[in-house]
Amino acid sequence: MTSTNSPRIAIVTGGGNGIGRATARMLADAGYAVAVWDLAEQAAEEVVSAITAAGGVAIARKVDVSKPEDCAAAAAAVVERFGRIDVLINNAGVVRDGQLVKVKDGQVVGQMSAEQFQFVLDVCLKGVFNCTQAVVPTMIAQKYGRIVSTSSVVALYGNFGQTNYVAAKAGVIGMTRVWARELGRYGITANVVAPGFVATSMVESIPEKVLKSMIEHTPVGRAGQPDDIARAYLFLADEKSSFITGATLSVDGGSVLGT
């Protein structure tokens, strides 16, 4: 364990935008030193500049989470700079929607391509595996770690046009349950946050009518904000959340309850 006056060290993947950016900022405000990993290098650097300007400690790195060698090198750089890794927030994600088969006038006119399926699996599922595998040896050595990974409520109830994304996000829940069993004895917890509908760039392509209906089906009557999700990450990342592992926390304004 770190002494009380040395900061906890957290990594946020996909920390350059949306939920990841909000989480990186909130962690820094709470006193963590934050490594912002993102494929979008400039976005990561902007987040680090904002944190540094506010008096926090952060470093940026271009990382493609789908590449194990990128994740391993980035984890080594965090250890070299800070000496430990306390928290991993697996947040990087992509969508490439498409129906399993697209039917028009009774005819099959298209389908989700194998590449489309694989791309989302590589980032959203294998990326979580890669980053976790890269940090866990350090966490085992220090007998402390918090792994929090992002699923989605769609993993629980499915979603039209998202075979790839739902497969990846359901897989994150499954992997986390395995890691909770395998790593608990080393002081490492592994949990999942399952966001509902959150107002970020990922939902920009959703038609107005669909957005309206999504809000109508959310008991609290609004879309989520990145900070709503960041708060859940911070709760599960906390040292005191040591008896919570293998859990999936829906943060969705109640939408998963159905109507």
Interface ranges with ligand ADP (CB under 6 A):
13-14, 16-20, 38-40, 43, 63-66, 92-94, 123, 127, 198, 200-202
Smallest separation, CB 70 to ligand ADP (Å): 8
* CB nearer to ligand ADP: pick between 131 and 183: 131
Q: Which residue is nearest to ligand ADP (CB)?
A: 18
Smallest separation, CB 65 to ligand ADP (Å): 4
- 144 given a catalytic annotation: no
How many residues are present in the chain?
A: 259
Smallest separation, CB 166 to ligand ADP (Å): 15
* CB nearer to ligand ADP: pick between 93 and 196: 93
Q: In this structure, are residues 60 and 48 in contact, taking their beta carbons and an 8 Å threshold?
A: yes
Q: In this structure, are residues 188 and 139 in contact, taking their beta carbons and an 8 Å threshold?
A: yes
* CB nearer to ligand ADP: pick between 22 and 175: 22
Crossing angle of helices 114-121/163-183, nearest 10°?
Answer: 30
Total Cβ atoms within 10 A of residue 201: 8
Give the residue among 257, 195, 236 at the shortest CA–CA distance from 10.
236
Residue-wise DSSP of 33-99: EEEEEESSHHHHHHHHHHHHHTT-EEEEEE--TT-HHHHHHHHHHHHHHHS---EEEE-------B-
Smallest separation, CB 174 to ligand ADP (Å): 20
Q: Which residue out of 32, 144, 157, 165 is catalytically annotated?
A: 165
* CB nearer to ligand ADP: pick between 63 and 166: 63
Provide the annotated active-site residues: 165
